[in-house]
Amino acid sequence: MKPALTSAPLRHTLDHYARRRRRTRVVPVGNVRVGGDYPIVLQSMTTTDTMDTDKTVAQSLRMVEAGCQLVRITTPTVEDSRNLENIKAALLKRGVDVPLVADVHFKPAAAMTAADFADKVRINPGNFVDGKRFLSRDYTDAEYAAELERIEAAFTPLVEKLKRLKRALRIGTNHGSLSDRIMNRYGDSPLGMVESALEYVRVCEKNGYRDIILSMKASNPKVMIEAYRLLAARMAECGMDYPFHLGVTEAGDGEDGRIKSAIGIGSLLEDGIGDTVRVSLTEDPEFEIPVCRTRSRQT
């Protein structure tokens, strides 16, 4: 049984005819503030092997020189997460105190370790606890509730640690990696993307933790726009005010990648939605920042 959202139409923006930025709480990420009245934060992601400290530091420095305010680094293993300590130390030695964001998929242990060294941890609710085995199954309400309890048990230790260390969290849903459980109940849809994230938000709030940023990424700008608008509407309906990270997954390179990102990110910024931006191009990450800056000037 699929729960109904509401009987009334949901609104993703206060005014369709005047640009007014969505009001959010402020989330500290190291020495950077995301949300509230703060300007749109520009970020990018390294493409180096995280265990290669020298190359990762060199690329991070180029990103910062281009104007990057948050540096995201992939941490697929516990060892990669531990090496954030060396990367951070090397950057500080060069006088660069840029917040680091650990990008984690599949491994809660990697996220737990990353919390010791990163200023923000990004998890994907589609694969943090659940996996994708492409199974078709109808869940009863009781079975679905039991699955949510399992997620809460696995996720709560990370929430408690982030809260204790005053780290931020991004709950980043990807359209292409929704769990089997979400797919079976909500389908491969923007609604599924939103509900996947909200399940994790509720665990955070239950534990009194609210330094949360949310994202709804898809390679199709139309899906991405619909998901963010629905998320904004659901946030308003639930009395939540978390900032949003905007991005189009795998936008590509050259003119095509820039146009694709402009459609997705630009449309949402026109709605007043978005607090931090990453333009995902298949180019060196420092080339993403000028595109981010152009988009952010819409606000």
Q: Quick check: 230 pLDDT over 60?
A: yes
Confidence of residue 1 (pLDDT cuts 50, 70, 90): very low
Q: What global pTM score does this model have? A: 0.91
Q: Quick check: 92 pLDDT over 70?
A: yes
pLDDT in tens, 41-63: 999 999 999 999 999 999 999 99
- Percent of all residues in the chain with a pLDDT value above 90, rounded to a whole number: 76
The mean pLDDT of 227-241, rounded to a whole number, is: 97
* Rounded-to-integer distance, Cα 49 and Cα 54, Å: 10
Across all residues in the chain, what is the average pLDDT? Answer: 91
- The per-residue pLDDT for 281 is 85
Q: Quick check: 298 pLDDT over 70?
A: no
The mean pLDDT of 240-263, rounded to a whole number, is: 83
Using an 8 Å Cβ cutoff, are 165 and 116 in contact? Answer: yes
Closest CA to 182 of 130, 244, 226, 235: 130
Assign 295 to helix, strand or coil.
helix
CA atoms lying within 13 Å on the CB side of residue 257: 18
The mean pLDDT of 116-121, rounded to a whole number, is: 99
Which residue is it, tokens 């899906």?
223
- The per-residue pLDDT for 135 is 73
Rg (C-alpha) for the chain, rounded Å, is 18
- The per-residue pLDDT for 299 is 56
* Rounded-to-integer distance, Cα 91 and Cα 127, Å: 31
Those residues with Cβ within 8 angstroms of residue 25's Cβ, 6 or more apart along the chain or in another chain: 35, 36, 210, 241, 242, 243
In the CATH hierarchy, which fold is given to the domain comprising 27-296? Answer: TIM Barrel (3.20.20)
Segment among 152-161, 251-260, 273-282 with least mean pLDDT: 251-260
Using an 8 Å Cβ cutoff, are 128 and 196 in contact? Answer: no
Q: Quick check: 10 pLDDT over 50?
A: yes
Confidence of residue 6 (pLDDT cuts 50, 70, 90): very low
The mean pLDDT of 227-252, rounded to a whole number, is: 91
Q: Quick check: 191 pLDDT over 50?
A: yes
- Percent of all residues in the chain with a pLDDT value above 70, rounded to a whole number: 90
Confidence of residue 8 (pLDDT cuts 50, 70, 90): very low
Of residues 195 and 130, more confidence is placed in: 195
**AA letter at 238:** C
Closest CA to 197 of 158, 154, 237, 151: 151
- The per-residue pLDDT for 292 is 82
- The per-residue pLDDT for 7 is 39
Of residues 168 and 258, more confidence is placed in: 168
Phi, psi at 214, each rounded to 5°: -120, 150
Confidence of residue 249 (pLDDT cuts 50, 70, 90): confident
pLDDT in tens, 26-45: 999 999 999 999 999 999 99
- The per-residue pLDDT for 159 is 99
